[in-house]
Amino acid sequence: MDIAGSRVLVAGATGVLGGALTAELVGRGARPVLAGRDLGRLAAAASALQDAPTVVFDAYDPSSCARAVHAGAARLGGLDAVVTAFGSVAFGTAEEVGDDIAEHLMAVNALAPIAFFRAALDVLEPGSAIAALTGVVAQRPQPGMADYSASKAALSAWLRAVRGEARGRGVQVLDVRPGHIDTGLADRPLVGTAPPLPAGADPRQVVAAVADALSTGAELVRTTENGAAVVERRDR
């Protein structure tokens, strides 16, 4: 995908990674539409980006995710990429986390991004892309984060299967699976307390790698043990 001039919807643009990724893409010439749940935070994010258009969704309402895609496409006269950068985390043993939080995590971290992409696949043309922030836990589920890991693994599995469907249509499917990044997400869990975490990757490096991956048609962004962001052409 050619980022310069591309029309990109970033869902979760009010978050640290979503905001940094939007700024990175704009810096490379993209035209963004910002999607988020809070009008005030969306307005603040938009004002830092030449009053970029905004659309509202709540991850707990899949129909609002689909509506956000269609509204975003209407605002920009079409879309070339849809990126999801929102999510919630919870810490604790399986018993401590419980069914209600597990349901919340699966809805916000898996079903909502899937709803965005299902709608996106309906409107995207060949040469476009979908991309999701999943996380290394999708591949290496962690004790004390079972339900968070399971929600990310569910989204990652969906992306992998859909990649096979989308390839024939010329739509890139990018899975962004970094390890810990210094964004403060771990300090904002739904429940529990984060275990000791390794030094986090630099958000700016990760979003630059995501932009590189979008522009080269890559399938995976991951981070190494020392936090370096790596673009992999194929997600094997």
Ligand X SMILES: NC(=O)c1ccc[n+]([C@@H]2O[C@H](COP(=O)([O-])OP(=O)(O)OC[C@H]3O[C@@H](n4cnc5c(N)ncnc54)[C@H](OP(=O)(O)O)[C@@H]3O)[C@@H](O)[C@H]2O)c1
Which of 26, 86, 153, 158 touches ligand X by CB under 6 A? Answer: 86
Q: Which stretch binds ligand X (CB under 6 A): 30-38, 48-56, 75-83, 120-128?
A: 30-38
Q: How far is the CB of 85 from ligand X (least distance, A)?
A: 5
Query: Contact 190/101 with Cβ under 8 angstroms?
Result: yes
Q: Which stretch binds ligand X (CB under 6 A): 13-21, 91-99, 161-169, 227-235?
A: 13-21
Alpha-carbon span 130 to 51, nearest angstrom: 24
Backbone angles phi, psi at 132, to 5 degrees: -135, 140
Q: Which stretch binds ligand X (CB under 6 A): 23-31, 32-40, 139-147, 210-218?
A: 32-40
Q: Residue 76 or residue 85: which is nearer to ligand X going by CB?
A: 85
Phi-psi region of 87 (alpha: psi -120 to 50; beta: other; left: phi over 0): left
Query: Contact 89/190 with Cβ under 8 angstroms?
Result: yes
Alpha-carbon span 132 to 174, nearest angstrom: 7
Q: Which stretch binds ligand X (CB under 6 A): 1-9, 54-62, 72-80, 157-165?
A: 54-62
Whole-number CA gyration radius for the chain: 16
Q: Is 188 in the site for ligand X (CB under 6 A)?
A: yes
**125 Cα distance to chain centroid:** 20
Q: Residue 1 or residue 138: which is nearer to ligand X going by CB?
A: 138
Interacting residues with ligand X between 195 and 234 (CB under 6 A): 200
Q: Is 72 in the site for ligand X (CB under 6 A)?
A: no
> Helix 146-167 and helix 112-123: axis angle, to 10°?
10
Binding site for ligand X (CB under 6 A): 12, 14-18, 36-38, 41, 58-60, 85-88, 108, 133, 135, 178, 180-181, 183, 185, 188, 200
